[in-house]
Amino acid sequence: MNWTEPAIILSTRKYGENSALVRLLTHQQGVYGGVVRGIHSKTNRGILQAGNAVTATWQARLSEQLGTFKTELLEANTAHLMHDGERLNALSSACCIIESALPERHPYPRLYTVFQAFLQTLRDTEVWYESYVKLEMELLSECGFGLDLRTCAATGTTENLIYVSPKSGRAVCAQAGEPYKNKLLVLPPFLLGVYKKNRVQSAEILDGMQLTGYFLDQWLFAPHNKKLPAARARLMNTMKEHYGAEA
């Protein structure tokens, strides 16, 4: 059996002398693994980099087998980012978290579309930090753990939502959260579509990373005795260095 899909490469690991085990996220097939032969050939050189967009053809005699991939490059995203360590950290973190969090062979077409848009933002614009946070929000949602930021969990109001409950993942307004503010997570305004001075403030970026990181750990990784990928910790440190003085 076989299929051909647009895909984004998540990871590449050596497999034998001249092959690689590649895992990628496809539009309709979800996370899929397979072997690519002849990784040192002219055809494959430079293609099998995490974050690159490809057309992937998977083939195997039986559906439960590992199978093999043939890939054609659509967009060399990694090459566009080689000059920027911060963006490479973001790319690595996004690929690692998606690969680690999602079960194999389950379709996530919306997440694929959001991931594809994030890669374009990362490659082509300067304001990519908030896009990264929103990608992690989408990953939580696609895994069935979406945060409910529409109304206050305590009062039902839609006004002055500035906290998130670490237990329920629901928004909490300023008045209801005041007595418990040291136990609540900060809700950055940009996640509600509110922007100050037409840009996301530096403190908001760090608050957003703390928010999504907490729920990724508590809801997707810790229950399976896994830790957040080291690439995610590196990205958080990069953001703190970049924005810490401003925040």
DSSP secondary structure string, 177-212?
A: HGGGTTTSEE--GGGGT--BTTB--HHHHHHHHHHH
Q: Is the dihedral of CA 173, 133, 118, 55 positive or negative?
A: negative
pLDDT in tens, the chain (247 residues): 899 999 999 999 999 889 999 999 999 999 999 999 998 887 787 899 999 999 999 999 998 899 999 999 999 999 999 999 999 999 999 999 999 999 999 999 999 999 999 999 999 998 899 999 999 999 999 999 999 999 999 999 999 999 999 999 999 999 999 999 999 999 999 999 887 766 788 899 999 999 999 999 999 999 999 999 999 999 999 888 877 645 4
Phi-psi region of 171 (alpha: psi -120 to 50; beta: other; left: phi over 0): beta
E strands along the chain, which residues? 2-14, 19-26, 30-37, 53-59, 68-75, 161-164, 171-173, 185-186
**Residue with token string 């753990």:** 145
Q: Which CATH architecture has domain 2-75?
A: Beta Barrel (2.40)
Q: Report d(CA 129, CA 14) in Å as an integer.
A: 31
Q: Which pLDDT tens digit goes with each residue over 74-114?
A: 999 999 999 999 999 999 999 999 999 999 999 999 999 99
Q: Report d(CA 237, CA 247) in Å as an integer.
A: 14
Q: Considering the entire predicted model, what is its pTM? A: 0.93
Q: Are the CB atoms for 97 and 216 separated by under 8 Å?
A: yes
Domain boundaries, given as residue ranges, for the chain: 2-75, 85-149+187-243
Angle, helices 129-142 vs 109-124, to 10°: value is 170
Q: What is the pLDDT of residue 247?
A: 43
Q: What is the pLDDT of residue 246?
A: 52
